[in-house]
Every structure is written in structure tokens, then in C-alpha cells.
Structure 1
Amino acid sequence: MVEAIPRRQFMRHGGAGLLAAAAGPALAQAAAGNEVKPARAKRNGPTVLEDMGTWVAATRYEDLPLATVLKTKALLLDTFGCAIGAVDGKPVKALRSVLRDRGGSPQATVIGTGWKTSCDEAAFVNALQIRYLDFNDYAALGYPHHPSINLAAALAVAELKSLSGKDLILGLTIGYDVHIRIRDASQRTGFDMPSIEAQYASAACAARLLGLDARGIANAMAIAASNANTLSEVRAGDELTQAKGAAEAMAVRLGTFAALLSRAGLQYPLTIMDGEFSYGALVSRGLKEDLLRTRTGDFQIMKSNFKMWPSIGTSQAPIAAALALRDKGVRAENVRAVRLYLSSFGYSQQRGFLDHAINTREHADHSAPYCVARAIIDGDVRIEDFEERRFRDPVALAFIEKIKVVEDPALTSKGSDILGCYMEVTLADGSTQRVEMPYPPGTIQNPATERELDAKFHDLADAVIGKANASRARDLILAIDRAPDLGELVALLKPLTRRL
């Protein structure tokens, strides 16, 4: 007599395969662990990532026009300043405590601390410092994302490899080119584009500086892009959180790590951008491949705008307009009402911040009405204005109630930037004052001066590393193309007092 086998054991020892075989060969293959996939058409020609890897690998410092080098050095000064100024930010200190507990090979410097950790972890914390204050640059002629965050990857690898200042410039310009081209080539459907762009860009930047060939660079981008497509919820929900700055920093950490993995030989599919189940098909849901396959035209870093105040791009023109009204004699106590007119883009970005109270730093620095209130009340907008004691100030909150934000779709068609504005103020005596600000200060149409950028750097750096070191660092950054390595510069980026 044949011994009965319990059902659970029967299924475990092959019963599922027998049942599936009876149902048909396809089910039998699936039950045996061989997933049945539809046949793919044979690819003709290189993938998008292979073409991108080719032009990234081919780009040399000698290809950069003088104007590009000068713009890159100005951005280095600005971005280093933003990172130094954020060294005591709450999420920055939290991240550093985690990294210190974990330990790491002292490969690259954490800006403003005098401390070193592993290459990818240094890129992580420096990227968070670059973004935390919302004071670093934003790209023009499209969604105003923040490619200067790629300095974190470039700096970490350049220090790891003892590369020159010219290499640092090259790495950052490559980061901008990949970052902005991904922005312009993509559709935006439910994912956080600034973080996704940073995944590709930081991987390409780091891989190029590691000396990988075209295929290795493409593979680094594939590794990074396969494992993180950040959801837009990091900038949405009921309230902005510290994810606003941390999400892009996470992406830079991943991009840097991906480049190291590619150098070590880990292989990923190079169809990640344009395959059947790829970024283009499932995340972007459409891709302008021609913008990615070749690098044509000016270097994308030339599209960068500087911020004159530590707040969202859609607040820069309103702050400037408010300060222009103060220059005309307008004072907060004499203001009855303010109407702030924004483009359709500016209004849509601000709309989500208008309906509820400011409860976080991230909400405060994204609120154009709050920034306008501070500008008219105080005559400036400063980093400390986004501390809780300031954004809960009853005087500022009462003034915000006087501000009405209005959409004016004609603003852009009138020749203004999508971040331009105009502002009308009604005074206590019934008279009105009006200011137009078609281009925010610091933009490519309304450029920041060298003196303004120097002042911004010193405002951010002096209190942390000391005025003398800040002056020396400033001079080294603006002459970085003559530096054989970055040792002297990073040695200056240490604090006056110990920071954990």
C-alpha cells in the first residue's frame, strides 16, 4: 500500500509542478521558478545610458570655455558657503551622529567639521549641508532644481583620489549637464524629480572622476537609478519636513556609492533608462532621448541662478519687490493690504503653503507671504528668520493676513521669468505703491555681482571657520583651477570650535 503524503508535503516536494504540468507547459515553467517573459525585440544601437556614458567620458577640462570655468568657480564659492553655514542644522547633526557611530574609513572631509569619513558618507552629509538652508543655486529655463548638490559627490571623489582643482571643476560641470538634461528630458508623474536627477548626475560625476570608461559611467548611473525613484510625497503631504533637503542628499549618497560599486565590477542592465520596464517607460512615462544621447550646445551650468536669500525660488522676486517698496518709504505699520502677483508656475508652487499655519522651518522658507512679511517688517530675510521663535512671531503672522497671493498667467508672457512677480501695496491713507520684479536678483537675467557673492560667502562662513580662514578659502576657491590637489582648501574648512 502506498503511504499517503500530507498535502503540505506534497506541494513542497513537487506537487505544484505536477499540477501545473497538467494545466499546461507555461504554468509548469512558472511553478518550477522559470518565469515566462514575453520575447523582447532585439535592440538596434546603444542604449541611452551607453550614449550618455560616451559623452561624459569624452568631456575634458580643456573643453570648458572660460565663461564656464568662471561660472563654475563662482558656484563653488556659493555652494561651499551654503554647506559651511548649515553645519549646525538639526538634521545635519543627526546624520553626523549616525555616521560617527557607524565609523568609516577617513577618505573625505565633512565640510565645516574637520572630520573625515568614507567617500559616500562624506558625500551624503555634505549634500545635506548644501541643501538644508535652501540657499544654494537653482537652474533656470525649466523647473528650478538644484544641481549644485553634485559638488558633494565631486568633492568626495576628488579628495579620495587626490585630484586637482581642474578635476573638481570638470566633475561639477558634468554633474550639471546630466542633472539638467534629465530634468528637461523627463515627464513628471508622481516622483521627486530633483532627487531623481541627482541620482543620475552624482553617479556620472563620481564615476567620471574615478576614471571609469564610458561603459563604467553608464553602469554607475544604472546602479543608482535602478534602486531609488523618490516619491513626490517627500515635498507634499500636510506639512513640509526635513525630507525636503534630505531626499536629494540620499540620492547623492547613492550615486557616489553606485560609482564605487561600478568601479569594483558590479554590473547592472544598461537598459534602465529606455528598456521595457525602465525609467522612461514607468517613472517618467516618456523621455526626450535626443537631449540625453549627445551633449550639444552650452554647458548646462550656465543656466544656474544664485539665491540672494535663504528661501524657495518663488520667494526671491517677492522679497526683492518688498525691499524695493521699503526703499520707497513703505513701512509695515502703514500697510493696509498687499497683493502679490505670481506667474502660473509660481502660484501653483505657493498654493500648497497658503492654506495652513507654518509649523516647520521647511514650510517657513517655502512661504512667499512669510518671506515678504519679514522683508517689509525687518528690511531683510535672514537664516534665523526660519527658526520657530521667528516664524511664530505674532507681528509677522498678523502681517501675513494682509497679504493676498494672486495668479497672473500673463506674467511670463510679458517677458518675465516664471519666478518673476509684481506687488501692490495699499497704505493706511488709501494710496498705493507698485513694484515690478520680472527677474529675481541673482538670475542669469539679473546677475549677482562678485561683491554680493563674496558677502554671502562670508556671512555663511565667518562664524564657523573664522574670518581669516574664510578669506583664504575664498581666494583658493576662486583660483581652484591652479590647485594641484584640494588638500589646502579642505584643511581650511574646519570649525573654530569642535562640532560633533
Structure 2
Amino acid sequence: MDSLTQQLVELAHDTRYHTLGTETVHECKRRLIDTIACAMGSFDHPLSVSMRELASHYHGTPGAGIWGTTSRTTPEMAAFVNGVMLRVGENSDTYIGKGGGGHPSDMISGMVAAADACGANGRALVEAVVIGYDVYCRLMDASNLGEKGFDQVVHVVLGTVLGVGKLFGLTAVQMHHAVALAIAPNMALRQTRHGQLSHWKGCAGANAVRNAIFAAALAKRGVEGPASIFDGKQGLCSVTGNFAWPALEEFRSHRMITRTSIKPLPVCYHTQSAALAALELHTKLNLGEVDDIHVETYKTAVDMAAGDAGQWTPRTPESADHSLPFVVATALERGRVEPNCFHADELCHPGVLRLMAKVRVTEDQALSRLWPESAAARVTVRGASGREVSSEVLYPKGHIRNPMSDAEISAKFVALFGPRSGAGACDRALKALWEIDESDDLNTDLLVPLSLQAV
């Protein structure tokens, strides 16, 4: 077992609920609530509906539940379907590290499916989620895989396989093989995030958690993975260069789930501050007389949300919610940024397109220097008379320096789940999530309240 794998296996086996601390457990509950809210808010998305139909053809024992229904499928397919639902609406959490950014909550569908399948209790689920976040975020800080052309879901498959391996009770040797079986076949390409974005943007993380569960299941049954998956002759480090994990004590003392940001708006994280600034300006000018809209932000935001031609002429919902011009024009024109603003039939909204034509996006070097500690943007709108109004956001709501309160997290859950479930089922599901560590039966205590058919 190479040294990096050994450290990861030690982390997984060392993590125990009773040592996590109150803050870590509470933050885990907040991420679970936020993530399932995102999934239920996208329950009727065409891709969610299609993937649920696909999952209906897969059956196995033990099974796992599909959120919002009474249906069960294989753990791998449950993780995939629920993972699509939680990501397709583009409103799940974010971690920004030295190696880029991504969505660690992608892993949660895998952890819940595995916990459901093996009959784990809520405390074991919390352990698994905390492990996953530690691995995902620490890898993001240790190595810039995006520079090498690899997608953020590589972090997802590695974090998930360790959390799922913990739930499955893998031995140290089995966990070692599970890590290798997760990495070797799942080095996904970052092209997923470029050009006109496709359905795969919402499926990539879900596919990673599906494959992580399969890797853990293989290892549990004695399948061996490639040796020295990190530091071997053609292991991961041969591509990325050498990197190091923190010592185990550092993992114990700084749990990364406390360091991720939660989104208030269903758009790419690099557009959050600009969208919030634009919303503040919505009523401050006659939009029919707007001459110029200037968005100034940090370089990564310019590159990732305005650096591709497709982001200036988005033809898919996935491209629109990753487009600074479209998001800012939507906020200014409509005074709201909600999931239905990015439906396919809204991409040609005449008012939004009119304002998009007036948008400029440039880098502000001072804001770039604040990145990644800040994710700042400034929006300045000039009218025909020459009058200007401007708004700047340094830390968008939900950022670790401007966190959403528990009440705001709960309100997001109610807003996204409540319209489908009714108040009673919504309250029961929310209560179950705040008390998840008290559950000894996740199917009864969590999945049943989430079932839309239980209303």
C-alpha cells in the first residue's frame, strides 16, 4: 500500500462520530439539508424524470431508495439518480481550493444510498459524509487536477469510495483496493465544463458516486485493484506531480465540511456575487434606458463564466446558469434568479437578451488578489443620461465569511421541497434531517418523509 493510500485508509478508520465535535456534526446536518433541498427542487426537471425511469429497470438486493418516491433500485443507480437531481439545478454547495473548485455535496447521494443499503444508522452516515468532505477538499487543496485536464468529479469518486468503504465495513486491505478501483478507471476529463454545456454537467458527479459504490462493492468481495495507485510508475502522481496529504492530526483538528460554501442562488458559484449585486440594482435604473453594464470580477470567474463563446450565446440551460452575461442580465431584467429562469424556453427571453448585449466582463486585479478567500464582483450600470449605479459583493451569501443561518437553510429546504410535499411532509422531512444522528433506521426516518407519495 503506497503512503498516500495508507493515510486515506487511516483517516477513514480513525473517523468516529463521538470524536467529531458539535460544530462538525451540525455543519454536516446543514449540508445534508441543503443537498436534499436541491434534489427535491429539481424533482420535476426533465433529466431527473428520465433518470428515474431509467432506474426503474434496475433491481437488486439490498436496494436503496430514490428520493421523493417509494421506489427502490440498486444502490449504484439510487446514488446516480439522486445525484443527478441534486446537481442538475445548479444550487448545491461549493468548495474553492488551491486547485480550483467543485461541489462536494455530489458525494452525498452515494453516502445516503450506501447507508440505506447496508442498514447503517444516522451517526454512521455523518461519519461517511465528513470523511468524504475531508478527502475531496484536501485533494482540491493539494493538487490542481484541473490544470492537467481532469474534472472535479475525480475528487468525488475518491471521497465517496472512502466514505462508502467505511459504511460497508471494509478492512484496511479492502479499503486500499477500493481506492485503487475508484481512481484507475475514473479519471474524468474537464471538457465537461467547457463549450456549450450539456446534460453531462449534471450527471458527472452522479456517475462518480455510482462508480465509487461499485468500487467499494468489488473490494468487499475480494477484487484487487492496481498496486501503488498514487506513486506507482504510471500512478496518479506521475500525471499530477507529487503532492502530500496533511498528517492525521490535521485532518482531526480541521474538518473540511465546515469550510464549504452554500449557494443562495441556482447558478455557478463564480456568478453568485455578480448576480447578487445585479439584484440590488434591479430597481435603481430605468432598464429601458440602460447603455452599459460592466461586470468586474476575479480572473477565474472571467475565465470560467465569460471566457467561452458559448457563455455569450448560451443555447442550453447548463450553459446559461454558467454564463455571467446571462445571469447578470437575468437578475437586472427580472429581479429574481430562480430555477425557472434557466428553462430551455427562457433562453430567448427578449428583455434578458437585450440587456446581455450591453454586458461587458473584465478582470479587476484587486478582486483577483482576493481570490480564493473572496469570490467578489462589482456590477456598474450606466443609463442613457450618463447616471451610474454600482454594487459590489465581496462575500456572497452562504460564503464561509457570510454564512446562511440555520433558519435560512431551513427556508431553502421549505422553498424547494414544500411546494411538492405539502407543509406536513416537508416539516417531517426537515425535522428528520436536523435529527439525523438520532436515527437508527434511515429508510423509515428519512426516506419515507421525503416520499412525495406519503403526503
TM-score range, shorter chain: over 0.9
Correspondence 1:347 to 2:310: no
How far the C-alpha of 1:478 sits from its partner, in A, is 0.8
Correspondence 1:254 to 2:233: no
- Map of 1:135-154 to 2, 5 A cutoff? 135-142=91-98, 143-154=100-111
- Map of 1:167-182 to 2, 5 A cutoff? 167-182=124-139
1:175-223 Cα shifts (integer Å, max 9, x gaps): 1011112222223344333111111111111001111122222221111
Q: Aligned partners of 1:141 and 1:410: how far apart in 2?
A: 19
Correspondence 1:382 to 2:338: yes
How far the C-alpha of 1:106 sits from its partner, in A, is 5.7
Could you tell me which of 169, 177, 180 is aligned with 1:222? 180
Contact 1:274 1:280 in 2 (8 A): yes
How far the C-alpha of 1:332 sits from its partner, in A, is 2.3
- Map of 1:75-224 to 2, 5 A cutoff? 75-105=31-61, 107-142=63-98, 143-188=100-145, 189-224=147-182
Q: Aligned partners of 1:351 and 1:326: how far apart in 2?
A: 21
State the match for 1:335 in structure 2: 290
Which amino acid in the other structure matches residue 229 of structure 2? I
Could you tell me which of 294, 313, 317 is aligned with 1:357? 313
Contact 1:50 1:215 in 2 (8 A): no
State the match for 1:3 in structure 2: none
State the match for 2:347 in structure 1: 391
Q: Aligned partners of 1:76 and 1:364: how far apart in 2?
A: 26
Larger radius of gyration: 1
Could you tell me which of 287, 310, 318 is aligned with 2:242? 287
- Map of 1:269-280 to 2, 5 A cutoff? 269-280=226-237
CA 1:252 to 1:365, structure 2 compared with 1: closer, same or farther past 3 Å?
same
1:222-274 Cα shifts (integer Å, max 9, x gaps): 111111111122222x4110111211111110001111111111111341111
Q: Aligned partners of 1:306 and 1:187: how far apart in 2?
A: 22
How far the C-alpha of 1:359 sits from its partner, in A, is 0.6
How far the C-alpha of 1:414 sits from its partner, in A, is 5.4
How far the C-alpha of 1:354 sits from its partner, in A, is 4.6
How far the C-alpha of 1:463 sits from its partner, in A, is 2.5
CA 1:437 to 1:483, structure 2 compared with 1: closer, same or farther past 3 Å?
same
Q: Aligned partners of 1:354 and 1:442: how far apart in 2?
A: 29
Contact 1:458 1:470 in 2 (8 A): yes
State the match for 2:408 in structure 1: 452
Q: Secondary structure at the match of 1:440?
A: coil
State the match for 2:201 in structure 1: 244
State the match for 1:232 in structure 2: 190
How far the C-alpha of 1:51 sits from its partner, in A, is 2.1
Correspondence 1:71 to 2:42: no
Which amino acid in the other structure matches residue 40 of structure 2? I
TM-score of the aligned structures, taking structure 2 as reference length: 0.94
How far the C-alpha of 1:159 sits from its partner, in A, is 1.0
Q: Aligned partners of 2:373 and 2:316: how far apart in 1?
A: 28
- Of 181-190 and 472-481, deviating more is 181-190
- Of 98-107 and 439-448, deviating more is 98-107
1:284-305 Cα shifts (integer Å, max 9, x gaps): x213123487753410111110
Which amino acid in the other structure matches residue 159 of structure 2? A
How far the C-alpha of 1:114 sits from its partner, in A, is 1.8
Q: Aligned partners of 1:274 and 1:91: how far apart in 2?
A: 39
Q: Aligned partners of 2:115 and 2:203: how far apart in 1?
A: 23
Q: Aligned partners of 1:226 and 1:209: how far apart in 2?
A: 22
Q: Aligned partners of 2:88 and 2:344: how far apart in 1?
A: 16
Q: Secondary structure at the match of 2:288?
A: helix
- Of 309-318 and 212-221, deviating more is 212-221
How far the C-alpha of 1:443 sits from its partner, in A, is 0.4
Which amino acid in the other structure matches residue 189 of structure 2? L
Q: Secondary structure at the match of 1:433?
A: strand
State the match for 1:372 in structure 2: 328
How far the C-alpha of 1:497 sits from its partner, in A, is 9.2
1:425-450 Cα shifts (integer Å, max 9, x gaps): 11232111121111111100111122
How far the C-alpha of 1:132 sits from its partner, in A, is 0.9
Q: Aligned partners of 1:91 and 1:463: how far apart in 2?
A: 20
CA 1:161 to 1:102, structure 2 compared with 1: closer, same or farther past 3 Å?
closer
Which amino acid in the other structure matches residue 294 of structure 2? R
Q: Aligned partners of 1:473 and 1:409: how far apart in 2?
A: 45
- Map of 1:459-498 to 2, 5 A cutoff? 459-486=415-442, 487-496=444-453
Structure 2 residues without counterparts, runs of 5 or longer: none
Contact 2:97 2:140 in 1 (8 A): no
TM-score of the aligned structures, taking structure 1 as reference length: 0.86
1:63-103 Cα shifts (integer Å, max 9, x gaps): 21211111111111100111112222222222222222243
Q: Aligned partners of 1:416 and 1:437: how far apart in 2?
A: 14
Paired residues in the alignment total 450
Contact 2:96 2:372 in 1 (8 A): no
Q: Aligned partners of 1:357 and 1:346: how far apart in 2?
A: 17
Which amino acid in the other structure matches residue 77 of structure 1? I
Q: Aligned partners of 2:247 and 2:205: how far apart in 1?
A: 21
Give the share of equivalent positions with the same residue, in percent: 28
How far the C-alpha of 1:466 sits from its partner, in A, is 2.5
Contact 1:112 1:495 in 2 (8 A): yes
Which amino acid in the other structure matches residue 348 of structure 1? D
Q: Aligned partners of 1:324 and 1:354: how far apart in 2?
A: 27
1:93-143 Cα shifts (integer Å, max 9, x gaps): 222222222433461111112211111111111111111111100013442
State the match for 2:280 in structure 1: 324
How far the C-alpha of 1:494 sits from its partner, in A, is 1.2
Contact 2:133 2:256 in 1 (8 A): yes
Could you tell me which of 303, 323, 327 is aligned with 2:259? 303
Q: Aligned partners of 1:478 and 1:63: how far apart in 2?
A: 19
Q: Secondary structure at the match of 1:290?
A: coil
